[in-house]
Amino acid sequence: MKEGPYNIKQGEKLGRGMDKEVYIDPENLERVFKFFTNEPAKEKFRSHVKARFYFHKILHLIFPKMVPDIYFSSSEPNMLKMQRINLDERHVAIQRASEYYFNNQKPPEDVVAKEKRASRDIITDPGWKDFRDAMEALDIESDLNAINFSSDEQGNLVYLDDFDPWIISEYGDHIENSFNMDKLKAKIETLDREKRENASSFLYRLEELRKEANDEFKHGEVK
Ligand SMILES: Nc1ncnc2c1ncn2[C@@H]1O[C@H](COP(=O)(O)OP(=O)(O)O)[C@@H](O)[C@H]1O
Ligand SMILES: [Mg+2]
């Protein structure tokens, strides 16, 4: 079996994008490892690695059908462990064309035709609009490209890419939330008790991490 960074055993490769490569977890076929292939500066902060985990957990609690569950986030290697989502025919058609683009090749016409049909089909899927509206309502940035979606076995359109809770200020001296805190809090209040309590405690930890990271900035500990 192939071993990835830090001797992590990798199963079959499921996909890749500009930032990540995604493999089946051979020890649990319902899960995937997502390795970041180029490391943006933010990923260097241990607090950011935790923050992205809590933010994703909150969004999964709020939108369990649109956002896969997340189990783990680490900095070395820089990766996430997430719920594996079925890659549907449309997704596979788009992937096939993108492999050519990745390799700076021109895909054959039939591959392009299938990719176009699949992309159109995804962005006219009611689930795509639901996801876009849900994110807009909380001022959350997402990558709405068709390649970031696939339908699961129950027919729900699922978002496959990730979320970043933080924006580093222009001068690199403090961190702001990338989402609207008041709107997110209000949304959490609408959840059933157990989910509400979990999401609130994740949000609390997310806020603590941001404060800690900003303190580190102030004391010059983050470069
Ligand atoms: N949870 C998942 N289950 C199955 N395949 C996935 C999952 N997440 C991502 N993939 C596959 O890996 C590709 C790249 O993942 P993504 O998170 O979108 O990376 P990038 O940030 O590089 O775009 C996706 O387009 C999809 O093909
Ligand atoms: Mg992507």
Q: Express each pLDDT in 168-220 by its tens digit.
A: 887 777 899 999 999 999 999 999 999 999 999 999 999 999 998 888 877 76
**Within-domain flag for 171:** no
Q: Residue 130: its pLDDT value, please?
A: 98
Tell me the C-alpha distance between 4 and 177, whole Å: 32
Domain membership of residue 147 as a residue range: 87-159
Q: Which-ligand-closest: CA of 147?
A: 1
The per-residue pLDDT for 220 is 65
Please state the domain count of the chain: 1
- Evaluate whether residue 99 is within a structural domain: yes
Query: What pLDDT score does 6 carry?
Result: 64
**Considering every ligand atom, which ligand is closest to the CA of 17?**
1
**87-102: b (≥16 Cβ within 10 Å) or e:** bbebbebbbbbbeeee
Is residue 81 assigned to a domain? no
Residue 207 lies in a domain: no
Residue with tokens 């580190």: 216
> For residues 160 and 56, what is the distance between their CA atoms, to the nearest angstrom?
11
pLDDT value of residue 1 = 64
Mean pLDDT value across residues 17-28: 94
Token pair listed for 94: 């788009």
Distance from the alpha carbon of residue 17 to the mean position of ligand 1, in angstroms: 7
Q: Is residue 98 part of a domain?
A: yes
Q: Hey, whose CA ends up nearest to atom 26 of ligand 1?
A: 15
Please tell me if the CB atom of residue 16 comes closer than 6 angstroms to any atom of ligand 1.
yes
Using the predicted structure, report yes or no on whether residue 5 has a pLDDT greater than 90. no
Domain presence at residue 214: no
Answer yes or no: is pLDDT of 41 > 60. no
5 within a domain of the structure (yes/no)? no
Let me know if residue 200 belongs to a domain: no
